[in-house]
């Protein structure tokens, strides 16, 4: 219940009590003092206990006593004037009723106050228990996630070592196939059917080679050679490299690279790969054009690099898997780009986070250390 609705309920309870006391008093005063009405007076006198008990029940000790005072205030003139008697000697039990009002108000109020305190303590304990349960649940989830990551890393390192060997072996025959295909292609003229076939062969071999190179980069990461490097310069060199691809996709490039940006303590070659993967992903997410925004600035003891696009965004399902090696949502994707980015940043004690909105775009944020940590 909100505090507003609680105070509203209190308000109505008080109105109810006031009306109750006033009604009983009216009946009480309007009833004559003749002997035949004596019974009615007895009833009205006791009816005053109802609001006192209710008030004590609702508002505790203060409520019980306050209502007893109010009731006495209404009842006292009746004792003094209507019965016209001596305050103490005429009908002592009638006068003593006022004392009883207070005793009942105080006792009921005290007991209900105890009850209310116990209920409040219980609610607090329940809330605390719920909070601890939530905390525990979150910690358990984090633990499960960490365990999954650990298992994945373990699987990857075993799988990586094995397949890196195979991949290495694959590259040699690939180079021979490519060389042979090039020799064969020299025998045909552009326009010949055979020439086109051989061109397709060379293209596919190149693609396969790129997959193997990508995989080797991922499976056998080189330890970073970290040195003070200017992130703006690395980004600019990658943008130069991707200039044509960006223009071809009708993408507008906006850069906000902070002047006097402190150097980041990173391996420039590996960071080139990180930025290249992010920019290529952004370009691929905007096949019909859009805006690619690149921003750098310093925050605390880190360099922040933002890459935001106005592309397809990433669905909830994809978000869970996008850093997993070989996960791709593209027909001809390799699914290694972000896994490599993640691994490189891990080696740099950097961070990658992202925000995304479906059909609106995605923003990747990279944080790099300024000093050696």
> Residue 229: which of 217, 219, 237, 220 has the closest Cα?
237
Q: Least CB distance from residue 5 to Mg ion, whole Å?
A: 54
Q: What is d(CA 248, CA 198) in angstroms, rounded to the nearest whole number?
A: 27
Q: Using the minimum distance from each CB to Mg ion, give the nearer residue, 64 or 361.
A: 361
SS3 percent helix, strand, coil of the chain, rounded to 5, is 65, 15, 20
73's tokens: 């205030």
Q: Which does 113 bind (CB under 5 to 8 A by kind): ligand ADP, Mg ion, none?
A: none
Q: Least CB distance from residue 5 to ligand ADP, whole Å?
A: 46
E-state strands within 23-137: none
9's tokens: 């309920």
Q: Which does 31 bind (CB under 5 to 8 A by kind): Mg ion, ligand ADP, none?
A: none
Confirm or reject binding of residue 242 to ligand ADP (CB under 6 A).
no
Q: What is d(CA 246, CA 252) in angstroms, rounded to the nearest whole number?
A: 8
Q: What is d(CA 93, CA 181) in angstroms, rounded to the nearest whole number?
A: 121
Q: What is d(CA 292, CA 311) in angstroms, rounded to the nearest whole number?
A: 9
Size of the site for ligand ADP (CB under 6 A): 22
Place of tokens 């039990």: 93
Residue 257: CB atoms within 10 Å: 17
147's tokens: 């365990």
End-to-end CA distance of the chain: 50
Q: Least CB distance from residue 362 to Mg ion, whole Å?
A: 12
Q: Least CB distance from residue 213 to ligand ADP, whole Å?
A: 14
Q: What is d(CA 341, CA 366) in angstroms, rounded to the nearest whole number?
A: 10
Q: What is d(CA 369, CA 224) in angstroms, rounded to the nearest whole number?
A: 13
Confirm or reject binding of residue 365 to ligand ADP (CB under 6 A).
no
Alpha helices, H only, 249-290: 268-284
84's tokens: 């016209």
Q: What is d(CA 247, CA 289) in angstroms, rounded to the nearest whole number?
A: 9
One residue of 314, 345, 366, 368 binding ligand ADP per CB under 6 A: 314
Q: Which does 311 bind (CB under 5 to 8 A by kind): Mg ion, ligand ADP, none?
A: ligand ADP
Q: Which does 112 bind (CB under 5 to 8 A by kind): Mg ion, ligand ADP, none?
A: none
Q: Which does 329 bind (CB under 5 to 8 A by kind): Mg ion, ligand ADP, none?
A: ligand ADP
Which range binds ligand ADP by CB under 6 A, 160-168, 231-239, 245-253, 320-328? Answer: 320-328
Q: Least CB distance from residue 281 to Mg ion, whole Å?
A: 4
Q: Using the minimum distance from each CB to Mg ion, give the nearer residue, 196 or 346.
A: 346
Confirm or reject binding of residue 308 to ligand ADP (CB under 6 A).
no
129's tokens: 């228990």
Supply φ then ψ for residue 316, to 5 degrees: -55, -45
Which range binds ligand ADP by CB under 6 A, 139-147, 174-182, 278-286, 297-305? Answer: 278-286
One residue of 167, 268, 312, 368 binding ligand ADP per CB under 6 A: 312
Helix or strand run (H / E) with residue 356: strand 351-357
Q: Using the minimum distance from each CB to ligand ADP, give the nearer residue, 273 or 281.
A: 281
Which range binds ligand ADP by CB under 6 A, 78-86, 195-203, 256-264, 324-332? Answer: 324-332
Q: Using the minimum distance from each CB to Mg ion, give the nearer residue, 281 or 308.
A: 281
Closest chain position to ligand ADP (CB): 337
Confirm or reject binding of residue 329 to ligand ADP (CB under 6 A).
yes
Confirm or reject binding of residue 362 to ligand ADP (CB under 6 A).
yes
One residue of 221, 262, 335, 369 binding ligand ADP per CB under 6 A: 335
Q: Using the minimum distance from each CB to ligand ADP, give the nearer residue, 21 or 334.
A: 334
One residue of 334, 344, 345, 352 binding ligand ADP per CB under 6 A: 334
177's tokens: 């196939």
Q: What is d(CA 248, CA 242) in angstroms, rounded to the nearest whole number?
A: 10
Residues forming contacts to Mg ion in the complex (CB under 5 A) are 281, 337
Q: Would you tell me which residues interact with ligand ADP (CB under 6 A)?
A: 277, 281-282, 285, 309, 311-312, 314, 318, 322, 327-330, 333-339, 362
């Amino acid at each position: 219940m909100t505090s507003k609705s609680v105070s509203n309920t209190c308000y109505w309870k008080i109105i109810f009590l006031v009306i109750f006391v006033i009604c009983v008093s009216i009946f009480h005063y309007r009833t004559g003092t003749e002997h035949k009405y004596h019974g009615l007076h007895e009833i009205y006198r006791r009816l005053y206990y109802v609001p006192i008990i209710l008030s004590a029940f609702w508002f505790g000790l203060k409520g019980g006593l306050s209502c007893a005072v109010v009731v006495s205030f209404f009842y006292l003139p009746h004792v003094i004037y209507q019965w016209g008697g001596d305050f103490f000697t005429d009908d002592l039990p009638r006068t003593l009723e006022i004392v009883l009002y207070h005793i009942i108000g105080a006792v009921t109020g005290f007991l209900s106050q105890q009850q209310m305190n116990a209920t409040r303590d219980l609610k607090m304990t329940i809330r605390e228990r719920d909070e601890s349960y939530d905390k525990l649940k979150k910690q358990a989830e984090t633990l499960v996630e960490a365990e999954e990551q650990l298992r994945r890393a373990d699987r990857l390192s075993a799988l990586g070592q094995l397949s890196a060997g195979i991949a290495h072996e694959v590259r040699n025959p690939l180079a021979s196939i490519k060389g042979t295909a090039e020799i064969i292609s020299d025998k045909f003229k552009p326009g010949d059917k055979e020439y086109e076939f051989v061109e397709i062969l060379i293209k596919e071999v190149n693609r396969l080679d790129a997959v193997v190179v990508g995989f080797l980069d991922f499976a056998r990461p080189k330890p970073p050679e970290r040195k003070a490097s200017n992130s703006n310069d690395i980004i600019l060199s990658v943008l130069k490299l991707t200039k044509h691809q960006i223009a071809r996709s009708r993408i507008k490039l906006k850069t906000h690279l902070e002047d006097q940006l402190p150097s980041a303590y990173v391996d420039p070659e590996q960071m080139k790969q990180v930025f290249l993967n992010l920019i290529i992903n952004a370009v691929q997410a905007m096949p019909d054009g859009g805006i690619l925004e690149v921003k750098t600035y310093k925050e605390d003891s880190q360099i922040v690099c933002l890459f935001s696009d106005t592309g397809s965004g990433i669905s909830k399902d994809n978000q869970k898997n996008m850093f997993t090696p070989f996960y791709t949502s593209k027909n001809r994707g390799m699914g290694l780009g972000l896994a490599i980015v993640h691994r490189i940043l891990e080696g740099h004690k950097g961070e990658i986070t992202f925000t995304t909105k479906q059909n609106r775009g995605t923003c990747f944020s990279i944080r790099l250390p300024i000093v050696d940590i």
